[in-house]
Amino acid sequence: MNKAAAHSELLIAGASDYPQAFAAVSEFVRSVKTMLQEAVEAEVPHLSNSMAVHIPKELKFRLQPSKIGTGGADGVNAKIGFAIWGDPDWRQYFYVNWDEGTGAEKTLSLSVTVKFLRDMQAPVLAKAKVKTTKVPFQIEVEGKEVYIWRPIAQSDIVSLGSTMREMLKVWADAWRDAGGLKSFLTKAS
């Protein structure tokens, strides 16, 4: 099928299904947001103690792509989650991610990230130290970020809150065992 014909089919399907599809997507986002928010808010005190930094309870909702009709949706990559803005040195992110998988499958995963804003070496050092704590999830460094992630099955989305709480407990304990986040933060000059 050529691109023009595929586009026409999409428009025709969208004309009849848009209200129901939009309602379904809106409810899905609301449900995921609620489950993640409850899990993160419940674990903030443990995270704060374990990471040896003050973690504000104010969560900033994140949705990528964030708007319908802006061309940002590619049908493959998306995120729903929260950010916590600590001090000027770091941020923390909690996401459900959809990424390009192998073949026709999209990969669905949960991730917990610390982003270091001032020091490019801190994520590498933090990964090395956190990895020694035997974290049972994938741990990665990308740019200024160090994060853990784990794939989840689509059917596991219904237990998203408890799965995220498990990850946050492991994440908090790993940071405690690594000496806390504060030991990796560069002092502002």
- List, in sequence order, every residue forming a beta bridge with 95; answer none if it has no partner: 81, 111
Q: Say whether pLDDT at 72 is over 80.
A: no
Q: What's the whole-model pTM score?
A: 0.82
Asked, for residue 117, whether it belongs to a domain, the answer is yes
Mean local confidence (pLDDT), 75-99? 86
- Residue 68: the pLDDT is 67
- Residue 189: the pLDDT is 35
Asked, for residue 1, whether it belongs to a domain, the answer is no
The residue that leads in pLDDT, 67 or 40, is 40
Q: Say whether pLDDT at 188 is over 50.
A: no
Asked, for residue 6, whether it belongs to a domain, the answer is no
R_g of the chain, CA atoms, integer Å: 19
Mean local confidence (pLDDT), 91-100? 88
**By residue range, what is the domain housing residue 67?**
36-184
Mean per-residue pLDDT over the chain, rounded: 85
Q: Say whether pLDDT at 121 is over 90.
A: no
The residue that leads in pLDDT, 179 or 6, is 179
- Residue 104: the pLDDT is 56
User: Is 88 in contact with 117 (CB distance < 8 Å)?
Assistant: yes
Asked, for residue 2, whether it belongs to a domain, the answer is no
Asked, for residue 11, whether it belongs to a domain, the answer is no
pLDDT tens-digit series, residues 143-167: 999 999 999 988 999 999 999 999 9
**How many structural domains is the chain composed of?**
1
- Residue 136: the pLDDT is 87
DSSP of 109-163, one letter per residue?
EEEEEEEESS-SSHHHHHHHHHHTT--SSEEEEETTEEEEEEE--GGGGGGHHHH
- List, in sequence order, every residue forming a beta bridge with 114; answer none if it has no partner: 92, 146
User: Is 98 in contact with 79 (CB distance < 8 Å)?
Assistant: yes
pLDDT tens-digit series, residues 127-137: 888 888 888 88
Asked, for residue 14, whether it belongs to a domain, the answer is no
Helices of type H across 97-181: 122-131, 160-177
Asked, for residue 153, whether it belongs to a domain, the answer is yes
Q: Say whether pLDDT at 43 is over 70.
A: yes
Asked, for residue 165, whether it belongs to a domain, the answer is yes
